[in-house]
Amino acid sequence: MTRELSAPAIYMGLLAAFVGYSASFAIVLAGLTAMGATGAQAATGLFFATLGMGIGSIWLPALTRTPAAVAWSTPGAAFLAASAALPGGFAEAVGALICCAVLLVLTGMIPILGRAVAAIPKPIANGLLAGVLLKLCFAPALALGSIPLLVLPVLIAWLVGLTWNKLAAMPLAVITFVIILFLVVDVPENAFSQEVAWIPEFAATAPTFTISAFISIAVPLYLVTMAGQNIPGFAVLELNNYPVERQPLIRNTGLVSLAIAPFGAIPVNMSAITAAMMAGEDAGRDPAGRYWAAITSGIAYIVLAFVAAIVVSLAALAPAALITAVAGLALIPALISSISAAFSETDQLEAPALTFLIAASGMTLFGVSGAFWGILAGVIIWFTKRRFQ
């Protein structure tokens, strides 16, 4: 096994971990905060979400001998960030996270569930994803209007990275964010004292389970995780000629998600963007040895998990608008991709449009979020129109 290890695989694995973490940690923090997490609870959730990515990215590639990298559910975190806080606070959100993980495990065990999700028309699924992402993607523009001197350098760094290499856009934006934080924001002298531990003081949250949270949060979170992460992740592996057994991979990532959900961690799933980095030739000439890139990224994620408390303390010093602006920038490519896919079938535009609008509106009906009603309305209109065409 170690004979297949190569320098390109190690380099690409480390790069993928850095890109994956720096591009989306702000989204995860925004999602946990929107659900009512305290600073300690957010640090705990971030720690276990990163740890889950690391464990999954070591376990699955070693098991399958493919670069089957694991990531946290970035669109799921964006959905949480755009959702209204639940009446039961973060405890109710933790209950929904556990329910979502159970759905993922069941999907990996019961093939008919996977087929049911796959049967949702792709434009509808992408309309839901676009609606979920839209609100957070407004954040850079809104922050530019309120704190232009802080946001403009981050935007410029993001644009510079984008023109150079799209994978460098978010890392450069995050580096600029940190520089601004230390140069402009008034950082207290004791901000990074001994009180900031490498391992967060785990804040236990007893979960609360409700039907409304299951329908409003767990089900849409499950759908955007499947449609926005797992299905594209499988496609990346298949595009690079790696064999994919979907059910075991969904089941195993679901089990990891179930193990970390009680700590307030968002689900983990198959990676798409970072997997593309590790499945290509840049990760080694021999395709049979590229799984080491994914294993390397997993080791790096475990190391990064231990800076969760410091990351949360650092983020707490920044204006909230600046944090959400960084998160919004990271989601712009996903928004573009999902909108393009949502309206790709010109004879079926109304259904994804309504899904998109309802999901983006932030409305609730009978205590259930617009994400659920959006996909329900879209599916009904899609199949009704197809029936009578």
Mean pLDDT of the chain: 85
- Determine the Cα–Cα distance for residues 238 and 253; give it in Å rounded to an integer: 18
**What pLDDT is stored for residue 254 in this prediction?**
95
Query: Rg (Cα) of the chain, in Å, rounded?
Result: 20
In three-state secondary structure terms, 295 is helix
**What pLDDT is stored for residue 59 in this prediction?**
94
**Which residue bears the tokens 């410091």?**
310
**Which residue bears the tokens 């450069």?**
172
pLDDT tens for each residue of 101-136:
999 999 999 988 878 877 788 888 888 878 878 888
Residues 208, 95 contacting (CB under 8 angstroms): yes
**Which residue bears the tokens 């080491």?**
292
pLDDT tens for each residue of 51-88:
999 999 999 999 999 999 899 998 889 889 888 888 99
Q: Residue 214 — pLDDT band, cuts 50, 70, 90?
A: very high
**What pLDDT is stored for residue 273 in this prediction?**
73
Contacts of 217 (CB under 8 A, 6+ apart): 80, 83, 86, 93, 96, 97, 100, 369
Contacts of 380 (CB under 8 A, 6+ apart): none
pLDDT tens for each residue of 156-189:
998 988 888 777 787 888 888 888 877 876 655 5
**What pLDDT is stored for residue 133 in this prediction?**
80
CA torsion angle 329 331 335 341 (round to 10): 140
pLDDT tens for each residue of 238-253:
878 888 888 899 999 9
Backbone torsion region of residue 69, taken as left when φ is above 0, otherwise alpha when ψ lies between -120 and 50, otherwise beta? beta
- Determine the Cα–Cα distance for residues 24 and 202; give it in Å rounded to an integer: 22
- Determine the Cα–Cα distance for residues 93 and 90; give it in Å rounded to an integer: 5
Beta strand segments in the chain, E: 70-72, 268-270, 364-365, 368-369
